[in-house]
Amino acid sequence: MTCPFVMEELEGALKVMQNGRSPGPDNITNEMLAYLGFQAKRKILGLFNTSWKTGLVPSNWKKAILIPILKVGKPKNKGNSSRPISLTSCICGTAQVRPQECLTLLEQWTDDWAMTVNAAKTTYSIFSLSTKIPNLRLTTNNSLLEKENYPKYLGVTLDPRLTWCKQIETVQKNAVRRTLLLKKLAGTSWGADMKLLKKTYVGYVRPVMEYGIAAWGTASNFQKIERVQNHSFRIMTGGIKSTPINSMESVTGLESLEDRRKKKIIRAFTDGLASEAVRDGGGAIYIEWPDNSSSKISIPTGKYSTNYKAEAEALQEAAKVLVNSEATHHAKVVLLTDARSVLDALDNTKCPEVNALAQAITTLSLTASKLVLQWISGHVDIFGNDVADQLAKEGGMMEQIQQNPSYNEAKTLINSALDCHWRQEHPQHNSKDAIHKLSGAEQVTILRLRTGHNRLKHHLFSRFKIGDGPNCPCGANRQDAQHVLQDCPLESRGSTSPYSVSMGPSSVTTEPKTLSSASSYSDFFSN
């Protein structure tokens, strides 16, 4: 019934349409439709599918030409002597053939299996936001079906606009009637104690209010049934009408219906990591189930694995676990991850690395009543995320499966390996070095101080044999950076040096003030 119309259905409907029928306001007859070409039929088919999907119909389909037909033996001058005949659009009548065909197929199926549909107990319902809902002529076993505006399905009362007003009214009425038993058992000076009344409420009254609540439990509807629970609290505790609800909840140990609904949400935390971001990857899933139980799962993601791959495979495994669980069916599910890059990739249809993950997420969305993918910040003391982080480390220590990396994964692995090699070759590198905040001349001075490669006599003579020797003109020691900055009596700024005696030229710090001070009284290093 919910599938789109196909060409075979349209052609079959045109064959059974009665010829010679008068047209409606659009002046299109059944004969005109029967002799349409293929392209015109495709246009009609597209119109049917658009109307079927959106629930909207052209305005001409809603209009009718009313023709009064005089009844036999009735006077012509009275209004009730005529039988009204409505001439509606033949195109609309063609679309109405499909629901009847479905009923005919149902009849054939029941006949084949020796079953009989009780037409007296069979009705049809139309669900729409339109204020003009038509009455269809549907039959089964040659019996006309009646229209039911408020059908009851599995104990839940439906209404045409799915506002659940009738269901709420029924739930309230049944729950209030059951609270009468609590009144008979309770009393301020006699009757059952609170423990027995609580058991009676939990087992006899509350199930009526929570049945099917996943479908009709909107915020406004919760307020209506919460009043019934609050009334039950007063019966159980003996509290007067002004007693705070929070106090009665504390005494009875019972939660509000809204809090109980929130606890039925399935939360799944995922995390993934790889050693040095390139190997021995591990993924983790930590699931909090509605019954307050939890599941902890660790998986290896490959001998050569990036953090991105580990995060993606953890999400994919979580989706598979939830799909295979009966608790997930028609439940609300939240997947929580700190992998922003993976979530962004899911929005990119040109990212082949997450195709399998996207398919798993789609399957899960069809199983659960609602699915939310939520990014959370990592390492901020979120319990579920911290558990998943520890499980991911355990997954990295498991036996790894050798897998061929994809092109993008191989690029990441190679670049990470080269970056690691560069850091090992340059252990003195500091990304927070304040040298980049100095001027060009000051940067030159600091570099020569740190490396010891400058124009002082010790370096020039020992490296290039330039000059008459390595000693300073003061005659006290060799002329290097430490001597000039701290000990040389010929340098008037030596007494104000901020460096200790034990400091060498390679010990110049990365603080901006210290670097600027060193460069200010060592200008000759850049000459």
pLDDT over 80 at 39, yes or no: yes
Shared domain for 406 and 285, answered yes or no, is: yes
Last residue of a domain, one of 364, 395, 410: 410
Residue 494 pLDDT level (bands cut at 50, 70, 90): very low
Does residue 116 share a domain with residue 17?
no
Cα–Cα distance for residue pair 179/204, rounded to 1 Å: 9
Whether 249 is in a domain gets the answer yes
Write down the pLDDT at residue 498.
Answer: 45
> Does 59 fall in a domain?
yes
DSSP for 342-398, written as a single string: HHHHHT-TT-GGGHHHHHHHHHHHHHSSEEEEEE--SSSS-HHHHHHHHHHHHHHTS
Residue 465 shares a structural domain with residue 400: no
The mean per-residue pLDDT over the stretch 37-64 comes to: 79
* Listed range (20-24, 270-274, 374-378) with the worst mean pLDDT: 20-24
Domain extent at residue 178: 165-262
Residues 513 and 475 in one domain: yes
Residues 122-128: contacts with CB within 8 Å, 24+ apart? 123/147, 123/148, 123/151, 124/148, 125/149, 125/151, 125/158, 125/160, 126/160, 127/158, 127/160, 127/161, 127/162, 128/55, 128/160, 128/161
Domain boundary residue, one of 262, 291, 326? 262
pLDDT digits (tens, 9 = 90+) for 123-156: 888 888 877 777 777 787 778 888 888 988 888 8
Residue 425 lies in a domain: no
Confidence tier at 503 by pLDDT (50, 70, 90): very low
In this structure, the answer to whether residues 52 and 124 fall within a common structural domain is no
- The reply to whether 221 and 253 lie within a common domain is yes
Q: Write the burial class of residue 402 (CB in 10 Å: 0-12 exposed, 13-18 middle, 19+ buried).
A: exposed
Is residue 390's pLDDT more than 80?
Answer: yes
Residue 119 sits at φ, ψ, to 5 deg, of -65, -30
Please give the residue that has the higher pLDDT: either 420 or 297: 297
Q: Mean of the pLDDT values across residues 429-446?
A: 81
The predicted structure's pLDDT at residue 502: 41
Number of structural domains the chain divides into:
5
263 against 20, higher pLDDT: 20
Exposure of 52 by Cβ count < 10 A (0-12 exposed, 13-18 middle, 19+ buried)?
middle
What local confidence, expressed as pLDDT, does residue 519 receive?
Answer: 55
Please indicate, yes or no, if residue 154 is contained in any of the structural domains.
no
Look over the chain and give the mean of its residue pLDDT values, rounded to a whole number: 81
User: What is the average pLDDT across 11-15?
Assistant: 76
- Residue 516, in any domain of the structure: yes
The pLDDT of 321-346, averaged and rounded, is: 89
Pairing of strands 139-140, 143-144: antiparallel
Query: Is 274 found in the same domain as 402?
Result: yes
Residue 164 clears pLDDT 70, i.e. is over it = yes
Q: Does the residue 517 lie in any domain?
A: yes
Residue 451: per-residue pLDDT: 82
User: Phi, psi at residue 315, to the nearest 5°?
Assistant: -65, -40
Q: Is pLDDT above 80 for 55?
A: no
Torsion sign across C-alpha atoms 236, 239, 242, 246: negative
Contacts for 414 with CB less than 8 Å, ≥ 6 apart: none
Please report which helix (H) or strand (E) contains residue 451, including its range. Answer: helix 440-451
Lowest mean pLDDT among 20-24, 92-96, 121-125, 484-488: 92-96
